[in-house]
Amino acid sequence: MSTVEVAGAGIDAFAHRFEPGAASAAPLLLLHGTGGDENDLVPLGRAVAPQAALLSPRGNVLEGGMPRFFRRLREGVFDEDDVRRRAAELADFVAAARTRYGLAAPIALGFSNGANIAAATLFVRPEALAGAILLRAMVPLAVPPKADLTGKRVLMLSGVVDPIVPAENVNRLAAMLRDAGATVRHEVLPGGHGLSQADLTLAKAWLTGA
């Protein structure tokens, strides 16, 4: 399906791509990394969840002309006020999209910056997401709002030689999510910040409960 170009609030807050799927499959919210767009993760989403509806927004923040989901001050240092505001904006979009497209609460599938906004959304507006697959995520908020993530499943996949995400940081994120009540599975994969076939295989197995 082609991109829906919009500007405003709610469903109109993000240019996005929507592909319908079977009601029996949990929908996926696809959240791209820096410089990506609403098309980037559609092949990955379709590969890990062939029957799922796919909702894929484009980040509204530009950094050197590259779309992102929130501002950062420099590599690894986030504008946390903007993170909170953008997470709430994304949650409002998800709520409106659920009404527009008739969706259940989605599972976020985010990469890098997209994984970070997904993690932030879990803390800021936990009702927006049923769970998350966080690929190369790091802590988005040093002191997140108190959230009850009981019943939410989270898969975190990180790279053992990731030059962007320190091991301490991603381990801290996993602990923060667990402390909030989420059921977290964290796997450290060979490689760095880029994705591999192992990410696809593990994400697909996790979604199917294997």
DSSP state of 138: -
DSSP state of 136: S
E strand or H helix at 15:
none
Say which of 16, 32, 162, 186 is annotated catalytic: 162
Known active-site residue 2: no
Say which of 37, 79, 92, 193 is annotated catalytic: 193
Known active-site residue 12: no
Known active-site residue 148: no
The sheet that has 153-159: what strands, in order across it?
Answer: 16-19, 54-57, 28-31, 107-111, 131-135, 153-159, 183-189
Say which of 40, 112, 158, 186 is annotated catalytic: 112
Query: Any idea what the Cα angle at residue 132 is, between residues 26 and 117, rounded to 5°?
Result: 125
Q: Which residues are catalytic?
A: 112, 162, 193
